[in-house]
Homo-oligomer: A and B are copies of this chain.
Amino acid sequence: MGKRKYTIGVDFGTESGRAVLVEVATGKELASAVYAYQNSVIDETLPGTRIRLEPDWALQDPEDYIRTFKRTIPAVLKQTGVDPADVIGVGIDFTACTMLPVKADGTPLCVLPAYRRNPHAWVKLWKHHAAQPEADKINDTARRLGEAWLDRYGGKISSEWFFAKTLQILDEAPDIYAAADRLIEAADWVIWQLTGEEKRNSCTAGYKAMWSKREGYPGAHYFAALDPRLEHVVDDKLSRTIYPIGDRAGGLTPQAARWTGLRPGTAVAIANVDAHVSVPAATVTEPGRMVMIMGTSICHMVLGREEHTVEGMCGYVEDGIIPGIFGYEAGQSGVGDIFAWFVDHTVPPAYHTAARKHKVDLHRLLEQEAAKLKPGESGLLALDWWNGNRSVLVDVDLTGLLFGATLATKAPEMYRALIEATAFGTRVIVEAFDQNGVPVNELVACGGLPEKNKLLMQIYADVTGREIKVTASKQTPALGSAMFGAVAAGCAAGGYDSIFEAAQHMAHLKKETFKPIPANQQVYDKLYAEYVALYDYFGRGANDVMKRLKQLKADVLAA
């Protein structure tokens, strides 16, 4: 055994960036450091100006990403005293689709005085939701032309994705579009800043930009139909060379070495996405085990050796998660968000007082009270559509529903019913995969929720009828990025030659797992049947009351 080697993963989140320094041999996380972005999420006025943004806009400042490198990597080196010479690789993951227009040398348009006051020159964050008309046009045009790639995305492209944002720039700021030599995912842009090389990754290209390994991007005829000015967008402003997850992007430039305190030439991995990079960090590098990244929403990831169309998934991408395998993604658009809404908007003062008295978080108090109930005892049932339904219905216009309330209904009962509803929503997704050729035998959970709420985890096990394991790491995206850093360095440098090997050594699960309790499963099977009947009735067109209510609301507000 040679000297101990280390790798660093940097996870670029919505509000902050986080670096984690990890021991290559064991996956042990030795230190982490967080940088809260100076300009955070820009959704009111452009920094340093009074220029107001319209509703649904969400921007970021690319200089915050560089500051993340400058603040966090030196910090973890300092905390641990690790010799930079022993840090063999760096990997990063990012929110996506988070994209920006840049000059040919990589300079973001928003740092140039000529463009700085134009909102379209800035980074469009994943949750920038102002490109819905453009997404509608993308979908309508694809359907009209019978584009086969639409099936890979469950039949619908999201307004959050790359070409919706691109088209919005073209529609609203053709000068910015013209000035942009390149349009690029922030994930790939930070790799460019570290290595001096523009190398685009297969994950964002596949999941967010309609690219596939076998067919590439949609054809020029499609882009021309979308807008004649877009006909050559891929060749003009993107790239047809896409690098698979797990490749080495290059070595740190001398400048990036100065930012970080690492050595020039340190291996840098191809960029990745926060959710997707969590999969190998959750020990999953083969089909059959679904990873759930559980937080405000849930991202469901499962691998498959074959191509299958599964209703309502967000996408499937070869090389999208693990090289050489199809990565399938699905999602629930509201989970922790719904519990947070409940706690903020419907819990009376007595529970707040009790939580303060017992010095526990209000979620924890409600969990404790809800845990005293048996499955089925509340008489309640909910449809978890407070934030629409991503998989499998792909319908943002669906809304939440609470069933079975009486004058005796209390907050912990409603809280439990909402947890159960999200578990039923996961079961729909699990069964959609499992019954369409993408087996799901076991669940692996990571993210904030599994740490916070054991009742929720047990309910998910009982509802899905599957054992749930939990990742040992609390920062799986950063760990996953660090793992890819070790792979970029390769075995010869003290790393690994594949993400499979890296996962074997570096990714770990907790000993404690959640196993289905048969008595609970029996009750939940009955409730799930009711859930599915309501899901289909309100979600598949038998009664479109939710959409009519939304439309009426829009009409009333417009009147």
Please determine whether B401 and A405 come into contact, CB atoms closer than 8 angstroms: yes
Given A345-B348, A349-B352, A411-B345, A553 and B379 contact (CB-CB distance below 8 Å): yes
In the complex, chain B residues whose CB is within 8 Å of the CB of A400 = 404-406, 409
In the complex, chain B residues whose CB is within 8 Å of the CB of A255 = none
In the bound assembly, the distance between CA atoms of A461 and B550 in angstroms comes to 24
Given A352-B349, A404-B546, A533-B545, A399 and B411 contact (CB-CB distance below 8 Å): no
Given A346-B348, A348-B344, A549-B381, A402 and B404 contact (CB-CB distance below 8 Å): no
Please determine whether A401 and B399 come into contact, CB atoms closer than 8 angstroms: no
Q: Does residue A378 face the partner (Cβ distance < 8 Å to B)?
A: yes
In the bound assembly, the distance between CA atoms of A481 and B361 in angstroms comes to 55
Chain B proximity of A144: nearest CB distance (Å) = 31
Minimum CB distance partner of A379 in chain B: B553
Chain B proximity of A245: nearest CB distance (Å) = 32
Please determine whether A556 and B405 come into contact, CB atoms closer than 8 angstroms: no
Partner of A530, one of B334, B406, B527, B545: B545
Which segment, of A125-133, A274-282, A369-377, faces chain B?
A369-377
Partner of A543, one of B348, B349, B537: B537
Minimum CB distance partner of A400 in chain B: B405
Minimum CB distance partner of A523 in chain B: B556
In the bound assembly, the distance between CA atoms of A182 and B522 in angstroms comes to 52
In the complex, chain B residues whose CB is within 8 Å of the CB of A347 = 346, 348
Most chain B CB neighbours (cut-off 10 Å) among A352, A380, A407:
A407
In the bound assembly, the distance between CA atoms of A546 and B409 in angstroms comes to 14
In the complex, chain B residues whose CB is within 8 Å of the CB of A407 = 334, 337-338, 341, 386-387
Chain B proximity of A525: nearest CB distance (Å) = 11
In the bound assembly, the distance between CA atoms of A97 and B558 in angstroms comes to 51
Q: Does residue A143 face the partner (Cβ distance < 8 Å to B)?
A: no
Please determine whether A346 and B346 come into contact, CB atoms closer than 8 angstroms: yes
In the bound assembly, the distance between CA atoms of A332 and B375 in angstroms comes to 31
Copies in the complex: 2
Q: Does residue A534 face the partner (Cβ distance < 8 Å to B)?
A: yes
Given A348-B346, A401-B401, A411-B346, A549 and B406 contact (CB-CB distance below 8 Å): no
Please determine whether A410 and B345 come into contact, CB atoms closer than 8 angstroms: yes
Chain B proximity of A170: nearest CB distance (Å) = 30
Please determine whether A404 and B399 come into contact, CB atoms closer than 8 angstroms: yes
In the complex, chain B residues whose CB is within 8 Å of the CB of A553 = 376-379
Q: Does residue A526 face the partner (Cβ distance < 8 Å to B)?
A: yes
Q: Does residue A492 face the partner (Cβ distance < 8 Å to B)?
A: no
Please determine whether A556 and B341 come into contact, CB atoms closer than 8 angstroms: no
Minimum CB distance partner of A347 in chain B: B348
Chain B proximity of A379: nearest CB distance (Å) = 4
Chain B proximity of A423: nearest CB distance (Å) = 16
Given A404-B399, A407-B337, A409-B345, A379 and B543 contact (CB-CB distance below 8 Å): no
Minimum CB distance partner of A411 in chain B: B345
Q: Does residue A114 face the partner (Cβ distance < 8 Å to B)?
A: no
Please determine whether A549 and B348 come into contact, CB atoms closer than 8 angstroms: no
Please determine whether B386 and A546 come into contact, CB atoms closer than 8 angstroms: no
In the complex, chain B residues whose CB is within 8 Å of the CB of A403 = 399, 401, 545-546, 549
Minimum CB distance partner of A543 in chain B: B533
In the bound assembly, the distance between CA atoms of A334 and B406 in angstroms comes to 10
In the bound assembly, the distance between CA atoms of A556 and B405 in angstroms comes to 17
In the bound assembly, the distance between CA atoms of A347 and B404 in angstroms comes to 19
Given A348-B345, A374-B556, A399 and B386 contact (CB-CB distance below 8 Å): no
Known pairs A399-B405, A399-B406; list 7 more (Cβ under 8 Å).
A376-B556, A380-B549, A401-B402, A401-B403, A403-B546, A404-B549, A527-B549
In the bound assembly, the distance between CA atoms of A374 and B548 in angstroms comes to 16
Please determine whether A545 and B399 come into contact, CB atoms closer than 8 angstroms: no
Please determine whether A552 and B341 come into contact, CB atoms closer than 8 angstroms: no
In the bound assembly, the distance between CA atoms of A548 and B407 in angstroms comes to 18
List A residues 518-548 near B (Cβ within 8 Å).
Answer: 523, 526-527, 530, 533-534, 537, 543, 545-546, 548
In the bound assembly, the distance between CA atoms of A338 and B527 in angstroms comes to 25
Partner of A386, one of B334, B338, B406, B527: B406
In the complex, chain B residues whose CB is within 8 Å of the CB of A533 = 543, 545
Please determine whether A379 and B552 come into contact, CB atoms closer than 8 angstroms: yes
Chain B proximity of A371: nearest CB distance (Å) = 15
Interface string of A331-371 (1 = CB under 8 A from B): 00010011001001111110010000000000000000000
Minimum CB distance partner of A352 in chain B: B349
Given A399-B403, A407-B337, A377 and B530 contact (CB-CB distance below 8 Å): no
Q: Does residue A555 face the partner (Cβ distance < 8 Å to B)?
A: yes
Chain B proximity of A340: nearest CB distance (Å) = 8
In the bound assembly, the distance between CA atoms of A550 and B316 in angstroms comes to 41
Minimum CB distance partner of A340 in chain B: B407
